[in-house]
Amino acid sequence: MLDSRKSYGKVNICLKVTGQRGVYHEFLSRFMKLENIYDDIEFIHGVQNHFVLEGSFSCTKANNTIYKAYLKLLEYKDSSRKIQEFFSRHKVSVVKRIPEFGGLGGGSSNAATFLHMANDHCRLGLSIEELCQIGSSVGADVPFFLYNIESANVMGVGEKVEPFFERALDIKYLTPPNILCSTGDVYRNFRKNHYKELNKEEVDELKTISSREILDTFDARSANDLCASTVELYPDVEKYIKQGWFLTGSGSTVFTVEK
């Protein structure tokens, strides 16, 4: 094994839609990294004639965020030769622990960790801004994970990341079994049946409030604009949103903070 790194999950302390950009939704969200849930990504020596990705994924290789990140690196400036040479001699292996379709950002985190590892081992010399440019074309949450920070205000369609300096919260999470939430479906239903926007003054205020204050002030539906849409499409989620529990992203994972 050449290298092994942890690929952490996250929760959305809040998620408020602020506008639209074509088919995408702009938002303000407070992301917080979860130190207690992660996948392991390994680069392992092995000669092959194509890009090899191993792991227990529910998606096809073509739809995997790591593979998408690999393809984007091939297109970026003059990195193609170095990338192809390296991955003809190494395979990528992922030990999955972050539940898929749960709103914990596992796919985006995997892509970000892979980009950092490829940048280091292939000696691409890409800056964090360049990595974010590549990552944002793979997934909206990838830039947050690329910065490897505990907490941040994430804005736009995910490309704007502002570190928020606060004490990490002791977060307990639960991913309900057999509820696979489609982010695309949740957003489409939100736009059709639940659309609302946070105005600039509200955005500016929310950006300054600590995560602890947000969770003390809001309930699950008011903290996360997608909550109503998720529950409408996946009614079983509602039974897990008890007092003091919140939905992360488009679900299905819920979380609370240990006192």
Spatial separation of the C-alpha atoms in residues 20 and 38, rounded to whole Å:
32
Q: 227: which strand partners? A: none
Spatial separation of the C-alpha atoms in residues 33 and 9, rounded to whole Å:
6
The one catalytic residue in 10, 16, 33, 91 is 10
The one catalytic residue in 3, 141, 216, 259 is 141
Whether 141 is catalytic is: yes
In the three-class reduction of DSSP (H, G, I as helix; E, B as strand; rest coil), residue 66 is classed as: helix
Q: Is 1 exposed, middle or buried (0-12, 13-18, 19+ CB in 10 A)?
A: exposed
Tokens linked to 13: 């302390």
Q: Percent helix, strand, coil in the chain (nearest 5)? A: 35, 25, 35
Whether 40 is catalytic is: no
* Vertex 181: Cα angle to 42 and 186 (nearest 5): 120
List residues with catalytic annotation: 10, 141
